[in-house]
Structure 1
Amino acid sequence: MDFTISPRIEDYRARIARFVEDNVLPLEEDRAHYDAHENIRLDALEHLREKARAEGLWCLQLKEETGGQGFGKVGMAVCYEEMNRSIFGPAVFNSAAPDDGNMMVLELAATDTQKERWLQPIVQGKVRSAFVMTEPHPGSGSDPAGMMLTTAKKTGGKYVIRGRKWFITGAAEADHFILVARTSDDPRKGLTAFLHHQDSPGFRIDRRIPIMGPEEHGGHCEIVYEGMEVPAEDVLLAEGDGLKLTQMRLGPARLTHCMRWLGLSKRCVEIANTYAHERFAFGTRLSSRESIQMMLGDLAMQIEVGRLLVMKAAWALDQGSYARKEVSMAKVHVANLLHNAADVAIQINGARGYSKDTVLEWIYRYARQARLVDGADEVHKMVLHRSLEKEGRGFWTWEAGS
């Protein structure tokens, strides 16, 4: 792959960087702009979103005909990393999970009629959305095809949904939902994806699950389906294509998480490096100490490793590959990197890092979920091992040009 980015992408990256510096970071520094769940207050968010729209920095990941800029995954990797220099950044540009992944999969899989009804309101920032798949034990987790218990029984021209889901990100503030439920016992074609509204009869939020935090807007909720009816026209793709739909959504969504986490990792280094240059101990500037230099040097290297893994996976996706190996490697590495970057930065900052005087403790608590969401580390390593067993030495190859 060519590591040179286009002048257009670089222009957007620089504009995003200036926007975050001038508009987002000042709000992040003032705790008055945080809500009760430690995210940006919605009124403050809407003000920034209006400015981002006005500057043409909105939904860059989508095709131009959908309302974006058609950046592809490589362009997204460059820009998302810049957006998440601030913990508030992705939401400002309408590039935060779960809306980000939901918009991209609806753009790929929905009919024109479904796009108008279900996708465009999210693109326009009028509503938020949620992806509903994970279930409490013994239901669906990393193995939805084999373990999903939520059922959808077809009766005439509609489906009746019954079941329970949990850790559904954003559900408390979502209007549009993509639900995956079981329609048969077929191991490959047993799941189906549905679209429904928050106000659909038979759907309710049982609780907003308390977490280590901080939380995305809408939290992580446990929800219940008690005979909710969905008309056949609100099936996404076709009956039995639910597993296909999840694979279409989750691969790219895992990678966009990594793009954003790289931005947060760099922010940790930025805060630690600034403090190390300012702080004296025993007559010596911290940045002059070899131990500090080694810690920050190692983080810089690991961030660059993560950027290369992410960019290779992004490039592969843009070439039409599923990039399963590449995405799994990026996911494991960057998730662990984020946690380590926050930990090291807090250690260098000492008590200041542990306090709320910086965003480091926010990032540290947020980072612990990175090794769990969209597949735990262990699951991705098992996937990589299966590929290794199947491919042998072919696991490590370069694409040959014609």
Structure 2
Amino acid sequence: MDFTISPRIEDYRARIARFVEDEILPVEADRMNWDVHGNIGRRSLNTLRQRAKDQGLWCLQLPPEHGGRGLGAVGMAVCYEEMNRSIFGPVVFNSAAPDDGNMMLLAKVATEEQRARWLAPIVSGDVSSSFAMTEPAPGGGSDPGMIQTRAERTKTGWRITGHKWFITGAEDASHFILMARTSDDPRRGLTAFLHDRNDAGWRIERRIGIMGPEEHGGHCELVYDGMDLPADRVLLEEGRGLKVTQMRLGVARLTHCMRWLGLAKRCVEIATEYAARREGFGVRLADRESIQVKLGALAMGIETGRLLVMKAAWELEQGRFAKKEVSMAKIHVANLLHQAADTGIQINGARGYSTDTVLEWVYRYARQARLVDGADEVHQMVLNRHLGDEGRGFWNWDVADA
């Protein structure tokens, strides 16, 4: 593949880099701008979001007809990495999960009427959204085929009963995409629904405490005890819920990796800066071979991750699903992020373990990376399945037309 990027993408990358440096990092540095869950406070967020809009850096991932800039997967890989130099970066540009993936899904499969009601308010930043799929055992987690939440037909539409948990952003969300079972067909048994915060027949049971910092709206447990929805709340069509999950989660896994690369680079940045000025026993840390080995290994790991992400992004732009490429990127970058935070803390010593830097924030956040959107082991199983199906063809190169 051609590893050059277009001047247009580079222009966006450079403008994002300046915005993060000049606008976001100073806000991040002042803990008064943080909320109680370790995220950017709403007042500071709203101010920065308006500035991002004013500078044309808003919703870059969406097609222009839906309020974005149409960067495509490769452009997103470049820009998302730059955004997440700050822990608060993606949400400022309206490129953070779960809104990011929900917007891209709605832009692709929603009807015009659904886009006007459910997509446009998320694009504008007036509301946030959530994707309600994961369930407690014996319900669906990494395997959507195990989903227990059911939608039964009524005279006017559907009645939904079930139980969801670890639903990101639910406490603050106004718009929800809900996965429910409408039949026992293994391929066409799931259906995606749209529902509003104000719809009756559901509740947030609790906001689940977690080890790390939280997105706005946290991770919640939801109970559906007879929520009635009209027929027009079906997304795509009845029985196509598995298709919806594949479209939603495939790209979302990769955008996570794009952002995590930015965080990993930030960890190296903090570690390198400290090693260059900290001395012990008459020697700068940066001059010690042990430190050089750690930072060199991280630099290589980050570049490997960038190549995996860019290959997957390129595959998506060719119109393919990039299942094995996304799985490889997800495994590598999730583990890399944890390693980068751990190494950064080790080099910084007590300073790294303190809240004087964001390293401890990234470390706590990083542990979930190996779980969200499919655990490492699930993606390794996916790769093994491809290997079994393809044999030596697993490693084929695409051949250009003669």
Q: Distance in 2 between matches of 1:310 and 1:49?
A: 27
Residue deviations 1:352-388 (CA, integer Å, cap 9, x gap): 0000000000000000000000000000000000000
What is the one-letter code of the residue matched to 1:62?
Answer: L
What is the one-letter code of the residue matched to 2:124?
Answer: Q
| 2:159 is the counterpart of 1:191 | no
| Aligned equivalent of 2:63 | 63
Q: Distance in 2 between matches of 1:38 and 1:208?
A: 15
Q: Distance in 2 between matches of 1:254 and 1:132?
A: 16
Q: Distance in 2 between matches of 1:220 and 1:290?
A: 42
| Aligned equivalent of 1:96 | 96
| Aligned equivalent of 1:382 | 381
| 2:340 is the counterpart of 1:349 | no
| Aligned equivalent of 2:49 | 49
What is the one-letter code of the residue matched to 1:182?
Answer: R
1:173 partner SS: coil
1:167 partner SS: strand
RMSD: 0.4
Measured after TM superposition, the shift of residue 318 of structure 1 is 0.8
Q: Distance in 1 between matches of 2:142 and 2:95?
A: 24
2:229 partner SS: strand
Counting only pairs closer than 5 Å after superposition, residues 181-330 of structure 1 correspond to structure 2 as 181-330=180-329
What is the one-letter code of the residue matched to 1:236?
Answer: L
Q: Distance in 1 between matches of 2:216 and 2:63?
A: 25
| Aligned equivalent of 2:366 | 367
Q: Distance in 1 between matches of 2:394 and 2:243?
A: 24
Residue deviations 1:116-164 (CA, integer Å, cap 9, x gap): 000000000000000000000111111111x111000011231000001
Q: TM-score, normalised by structure 2?
A: 0.99
What is the one-letter code of the residue matched to 2:66?
Answer: T
Q: Which runs of 5+ in 2 are unaligned?
A: none
1:265 partner SS: helix
| 2:33 is the counterpart of 1:21 | no
Q: Distance in 2 between matches of 1:387 and 1:100?
A: 28
Q: Distance in 2 between matches of 1:47 and 1:226?
A: 39
Residue deviations 1:232-275 (CA, integer Å, cap 9, x gap): 11100000000000000000000000000000000000000000
Measured after TM superposition, the shift of residue 86 of structure 1 is 0.1
Q: Distance in 1 between matches of 2:324 and 2:397?
A: 13
Q: Distance in 1 between matches of 2:314 and 2:322?
A: 9
Q: Distance in 1 between matches of 2:193 and 2:229?
A: 7
Q: Distance in 2 between matches of 1:203 and 1:230?
A: 11
| Aligned equivalent of 1:128 | 128
Q: Distance in 2 between matches of 1:279 and 1:339?
A: 23
Q: Distance in 2 between matches of 1:20 and 1:65?
A: 27
What is the one-letter code of the residue matched to 1:8?
Answer: R
| Aligned equivalent of 2:143 | 143
Give the number of equivalent residue pairs. 401
| Aligned equivalent of 1:339 | 338
2:297 partner SS: helix
Q: Distance in 1 between matches of 2:5 and 2:228?
A: 47
Q: Distance in 2 between matches of 1:111 and 1:162?
A: 25
1:163 partner SS: strand
Q: Distance in 2 between matches of 1:306 and 1:157?
A: 49
Sequence identity percentage: 71
What is the one-letter code of the residue matched to 1:134?
Answer: T
Structure 1 runs (4+) deviating above 4 angstroms are: none
Q: Distance in 2 between matches of 1:294 and 1:231?
A: 60
Q: Distance in 2 between matches of 1:101 and 1:148?
A: 20
Q: Distance in 1 between matches of 2:302 and 2:111?
A: 39
Q: Which runs of 5+ in 1 are unaligned?
A: none
2:264 partner SS: helix
Residue deviations 1:310-331 (CA, integer Å, cap 9, x gap): 0000000011000000000000
